[in-house]
Chains A and B, each alone.
Chain A
Amino acid sequence: MTDYLCISEKPTAAKRIATALDQNGKPKKIPTPPSFKKVPVWESFRGGNRIITIPALGHLYSTVEDSAGGWHYPAFSYKWIPSYLAFEKNNTRPFILAFKKYGKEIDNVIVATDYDLEGEVIGASIAKYACNQELTNVKRMKFSTLTDSDIVNSFLNPSPTVDINLANAGFTRHEIDWLYGINLTRALTLAIKHSTGRYKLITTGRVQGPTLKFVADKERDIQTFVPIPRWAIEASIVVDGEEIQIEYNKKFITTLAEADKIISETKNYDGKVSDISSRDIIQKPPLPFNLGTLQSEAYRYFGYSPSRTLRAAEALYLNALISYPRTGSQQFTTAINHKEILTELGKNTTYRNRIGKLISAGQFKPTFGKKKDPAHPPIHPTGKKTGSLSGEQANIYNLIVCRYMAIFGSPAMKKSLRLDINVNGHIFYLRGMKVLKKGWLEFYAPFGKIDEVELPDLAVGDVVKLIGIDHRQSYTQPPARYNPNSLLKKMEDEELGTKSTRASIIDILYSRGYIEDESINATDLGFSVIDTLEKNSPDIISVDLTRNLEKDMENITTGEKAREIVLMDSIKQLKVILENFHKKEKIIGAALQEQVQNLKQRQRMLGKCPICKQGELIITRSTSTKKRFVGCTGYYKKLCDWSAPIPQQGYASPAKKMCKDCGFPMLTIRRKSKRPFTICPNWLNCPGTPDEVIQNYKNNKSAEAVIGEEEE
């Protein structure tokens, strides 16, 4: 009998692995000593072997500075230590104790974490530091789904060692990220401190900086944008008593004179159908989902942020309902039995009819794209029965199944129609769309729907009556802001970060206050940081530098580059960046501090005072009562003494809009766990304030009674 110690990544996965590996499907939970009594240690038996499965809780080991000497830079010396020693409030100590105990007793260690960069680091660090194993002696289970068959198969046919190159790439990524994060954050923060004596923590990281730069660049384009006027010709005809909008053959006219001319030349004329044309469009079935395309479609159809989609997909993976989601692959290997998966899915009444069509047509050849991932296939359902799923997981699961069915479908065929109407020499047109053959669209439904548009029953030569024509002025629009999905796509296109880390980097930028809102804009703080670094230390936010480092780490994975060389090169680069930074430290610190001060000022300014029309309304505090109120800066020059109380609770900031009832610039109040609301600072005299609010205030003498307008 041989004993195995199986390292899993999470408690849920450990239970599933232990259950699959136990020949009776009933692993035993071993009683554990008080020091790690909360850690589930599972005992399974298979073929006369005993398997102990213990979960980790993500990373149990972390990189920390290996020297005393306080907050300084550069800091190039580091070591790996248990995470519970590295961070406060870290609850991983019992897990390390469990691995240490069983690592001493059992020699055969097998890593069964997720097969990717992070999984390899988690497994390898536990095997190395907690179990004292040489990585060359540690076996590796590789699976892409948590189904019983995949788990058992990977246990019976493990790789002889962990993926040393992948583990090295993972360790290197952690170390380089630590080196960049700690040094750049300290450099920025100390720059302010050394220049002004003030402490203000400014954080950044290797991928965060360039990602924030994308947002800041876009924001700059938006804020400096000057639109150009243009005119659209709007016209309609009547066919069989029904009014139909038609479009002019030039979408926009650039001069008012030309727009006027078109109107005068067409206003009193009838139209004549001059041409009806059509063209067939073949739409190929989509590619299988990888993480990026799943996140993109989930945002499109459900509005889920990339990190929300990833969370839901991971939960589905842990329930063995889908394959491993952190994959970039668009190609299936022949090892996957699609017929079997489709047959299992067909037991679900939602998919039965469509699956029946695929099976009877013998369509088991999926589409494939260019991207490969040797570790995992594209995201696909396992066919396992779902049981009840939460709304979010149900949506993502349905999307994945429909996409999976669609990749076996035949191309869809559509007919695009165009009907031209000549009005005194000017061409207007109508467009129609007809689906000739649904093909894969039938399998992807309710996603990928095409709206069919019928054309009116007209023939070439028919005369139609123009019942209205005019031009409408509009303006060119500023570039669209990123949303979490398009920013993630931009990172992917620019090869910043990995499929596993991109979503969390966007979350970090939100949590640090550098970006805000669904339609992402750089906050003043985010913009200030980028602006200062761009001028004084552009390498810190260089996309090229970060992208090259990503390539180097990819080369470690493939064995083309040694980990030590990549680390040394990174340290050399970082050293140059920090030396240059240090030379300009005072300038950078002063610029950052000024930006932060300006930011604080701007966060208080609401806009022009409508009473004196000279001062600015600002959010300020009474020096005597310390209460918050809105007042006019004209007060200091004895120009205006207007002021009004505002709510004392929550964070108050300019709403950047005017009160529609009295024209005062409004403010927004944000309170924890509550929806933000905007109020008019002139609420005591504003005609829009309900009488009961005024009455209530007079009774309580408290501005808390203000009723705000909830933000959309």
Chain B
Amino acid sequence: MRRRNSDLRKCLVCQSTIEKGDYCDAHNIAKKNLEKRFNEWQNAFGKLTWREYLERLVNDPEIPIGDWAKEVADYLLKNKKE
């Protein structure tokens, strides 16, 4: 069955066309990396909420986070509730 244009999905972060899910491949990897590292950040600081974690990543220019990972963190901060 042919897919209609309206069925095409867009990456929530960069709006590029995707076949499935919410993110394009690049932003999907970035999101997984964010999730994977959260535990280590919690261990490192003892107590840290998901929101605090994202805020640090987005706002601290000293943190060497990749651009795509930062874009996802920024999106999550603005669009999702903890």
Interface residues of A (CB under 8 A from B): 220, 222-230, 254-257, 475, 477-478, 531, 535, 590-591, 594-595, 598
Contacts and interface: CB of A to CB of B under 8 A. Distances in A.
A535 B68 CA distance: 19
A12 to B, nearest CB: 48
B17 A255 contact: no
Contact of B64 (A227, A255, A531, A598): A227
Which of A226, A227, A477, A590 has its CB near the most chain B CB atoms (within 10 A)?
Answer: A226
B30 A223 contact: yes
Given A475-B64, A531-B25, A226 B44 contact: no
B37 A256 contact: no
Interface in B1-56: 14, 16-17, 25-26, 29-30, 33-34, 36-37, 40-41, 43-46
A225 B16 CA distance: 21
Given A222-B66, A257-B46, A478-B64, 18 more contacts: A223-B69, A224-B29, A224-B33, A224-B68, A225-B64, A225-B66, A226-B30, A226-B37, A226-B65, A226-B69, A227-B64, A228-B44, A229-B41, A229-B44, A254-B44, A255-B44, A255-B46, A591-B17
B26 A223 contact: yes
Contacts of A475: 62-64
Q: Which 4 A-B pairs have the closest CB atoms?
A: A223-B66, A225-B66, A224-B30, A223-B68
Contacts of A598: 14, 16
B69 A228 contact: no
A230 B44 CA distance: 7
A643 B41 CA distance: 41
Given A229-B44, A255-B43, A257-B46, A594 B16 contact: yes
Given A220-B26, A477-B64, A226 B46 contact: no
Contact of A226 (B14, B43, B45, B57): B57
Q: By DSSP majority rule, is chain B's interface helix, strand, loop, or mixed?
A: helix
Contact of A228 (B14, B17, B37): B37
Nearest to A657: B61
A225 B69 CA distance: 6
A226 B66 contact: yes
10 contacts: A223-B26, A223-B67, A229-B44, A255-B46, A256-B46, A478-B64, A531-B25, A591-B17, A595-B16, A598-B16
Interface residues of B, number: 26
A475 B68 CA distance: 18
A145 to B, nearest CB: 49
B43 A254 contact: yes
B69 A224 contact: yes
A183 B81 CA distance: 50
A424 B69 CA distance: 42
Contacts of A229: 41, 44-45
A228 B66 contact: no
Contacts of A590: 17
B30 to A, nearest CB: 4
A255 B30 CA distance: 24
Contacts of A591: 17
Nearest to B27: A224
B26 A224 contact: yes
B53 to A, nearest CB: 10
Nearest to B57: A226
A228 B68 CA distance: 16
A229 B44 CA distance: 7
Given A255-B44, A475-B63, A475-B64, A226 B34 contact: yes
Nearest to B40: A228
B20 to A, nearest CB: 12
Contacts of B29: 220, 224
Contacts of A225: 33, 64-66, 69
Which of A223, A228, A595 has its CB near the most chain B CB atoms (within 10 A)?
Answer: A223
A220 B29 CA distance: 9
A518 to B, nearest CB: 19
A475 B66 CA distance: 13
A255 B48 CA distance: 13
A303 to B, nearest CB: 24
A526 to B, nearest CB: 14
A255 B44 CA distance: 4
Contacts of A226: 30, 33-34, 36-37, 57, 65-66, 69
Interface string B64-78: 111111000000000
B45 A256 contact: yes
Which of A229, A256, A475 has its CB near the most chain B CB atoms (within 10 A)?
Answer: A229
A224 B16 contact: no
Contacts of B68: 223-224
A42 B46 CA distance: 82
A664 to B, nearest CB: 15
Contact of A594 (B17, B46, B67): B17
Nearest to B72: A224
Contacts of B65: 225-227
B61 to A, nearest CB: 9
Nearest to A598: B16
A224 B68 CA distance: 5
A220 B26 CA distance: 7
A222 B25 CA distance: 14
B26 to A, nearest CB: 7
Nearest to B29: A224
Nearest to B67: A223
Contacts of B64: 225, 227, 475, 477-478
A256 B44 CA distance: 6
A31 B49 CA distance: 86
Nearest to A222: B66
Nearest to A528: B16
Nearest to A591: B17
Contacts of A594: 16-17
Contacts of B14: 598
Contacts of B45: 229, 255-256
A26 to B, nearest CB: 65
A227 B17 CA distance: 28
A535 B18 CA distance: 12
A255 B36 CA distance: 17
Nearest to A253: B44
Contacts of A535: 25
Which of A228, A256, A257, A477 has its CB near the most chain B CB atoms (within 10 A)?
Answer: A228
A256 B66 CA distance: 23
B54 to A, nearest CB: 11
Contacts of A222: 66
B33 A228 contact: no
Contacts of B57: 226
Contacts of B41: 228-229
Which of A224, A228, A255, A475 has its CB near the most chain B CB atoms (within 10 A)?
Answer: A224
A591 B11 CA distance: 13
Contacts of A223: 26, 30, 66-69
A595 B25 CA distance: 13
A535 B62 CA distance: 34
Nearest to B62: A475
Contacts of A227: 37, 63-65
